[in-house]
Amino acid sequence: MFKNVFGSGFLVRTAHVILTWVITLILFLHDTDLRKQEERGELVQPVLFVLLVLVSVLLYFAVSLMDPGFVLSDSDAKFTLGVSEEEQEMIPHTSKALRHRRCGYCLLQQPMRAKHCQNCKHCVRRYDHHCPWIENCVGERNHRWFVLYLGVQLLALLWGFHMAWSGFRYAPSWDLWLRQNGFLLAASSLVGIFLVVVVLLLGSHLYLVSLNTTTWEFMSRHRISYLKHCGADENPFDQGTIRNLWGFFCVWRTIVWEQVYFRECSDPV
C-alpha cells in the first residue's frame, strides 16, 4: 500500500513537516490567543488546534505514501471487464484504440482513464495529476484522501491565520515592531500563501469531482482517445452531481470505467 518513505520525495515531505511544526511553535511562543488560553489553563482550543495540525500531517503522509492506483500487470487493468463486443462497437472511430491500448512506456494494458506518470514510472488508474507537493500521483485510490487532506489543511490554515493575526502587537516604531513581530509576520505570510493555494486546489477538485472528470481529462480532453470525439460539454462519465459526489466519496470498490462509458454511449438518442 505504501511506497518507500525514503524515496525521492523524502526531502519534500521532511520540509513540509518541519515547516508545519515550526509555524505551530511560533504561534504558541508569541502572544497569540493560543498562548493566552494556555497560560490561563484553558487547554481545549490549544489541544484541538494541535490535534488538527497532527491530523493534517498524518493525512499528508497517507496521501503522499499511498499507492494511487498503480497498474502493475495486465490483470490489474481488468480490461473491458463485462463489456460485450456489441457495446464496444457503439463507439465510432475509437473502438480499436479502446480495445488495444498499451502504454508506450511500461507496455501494460491501460484501463480506461489511466495514464502513465513519467515521475512515478507507472500507469495510474483514474489518473488526476502528479502533485509535487506530496511527491506522488493523485489517482483512483488516494484522490478522495487528497481532497479530505485539503479540507483539513484549509481548516488548520484558517485557524492558524486567525491565531497569528491575534498575536501582532503595537510598537512605537517600525524597527521595534519588526523585531517584536518579525517571526510572526513570516509565519502568517506563509500561512496566507498556503491558504490561497489550498482554497484554489480544493475548489477546483470539488468542481471536477462534481462533474466526474479529472484534472488530466479536463486539461487534455482534445488529446484523449475516448474523449476527443465528444462535444465540448459532453462527459460520458457524468452521472449527475449527487451521484458523482456519492460515487467519489462513498464508493470504495474499483469501478470499471469501460462499463460506465459504453453504457452511457449506448443509451438511445
At residue 245's C-alpha, the angle toward residues 71 and 151, to 5°, is: 85
Q: What percent of the chain lies above the pLDDT cut of 90?
A: 59
Q: Is 131 a catalytic residue?
A: yes
Helix H, strand E, coil C: the string for the chain is CECCCCCCCHHHHHHHHHHHHHHHHHHHHCCCHHHHHHHCCCCHHHHHHHHHHHHHHHHHHHHHHECCCEECCHHHHCCCCCCCHHHHCCCCCCHHHHHCCECCCCCCECCCCCEEECCCCEEECCCCEEECCCCEEECCCCHHHHHHHHHHHHHHHHHHHHHHHHCCCCCCCHHHHHHHHHHHHHHHHHHHHHHHHHHHHHHHHHHHHHHCCCHHHHHHHHHCCCCCCCCCCCCCCCCCHHHHHHHHHHCCCCCCHHHHHHHHHCCCC
Highest mean pLDDT among 72-81, 198-207, 221-230: 198-207
Residue 107's contacts (CB-CB under 8 Å, 6 or more residues apart) are: none
Q: What are the grid coordinates assigned to 76, written together? A: 490489474
| Single pTM value for the model | 0.85
Mean pLDDT for 1-10 is 57
Average pLDDT over residues 104-129: 92
97 band by pLDDT with thresholds 50, 70 and 90: very low
Could you tell me the residue ranges of all domains in the chain?
10-265
Tell me: pLDDT of 210 over 50: yes
For range 89-98, the mean pLDDT: 46
Question: Among residues 131, 137, 230, 250, which one is catalytic?
Answer: 131
Mean pLDDT check: name the lowest of 3-12, 25-34, 210-219, 251-260: 3-12
pLDDT over threshold 70, residue 98: no
pLDDT of 117 over the 70 cut: yes
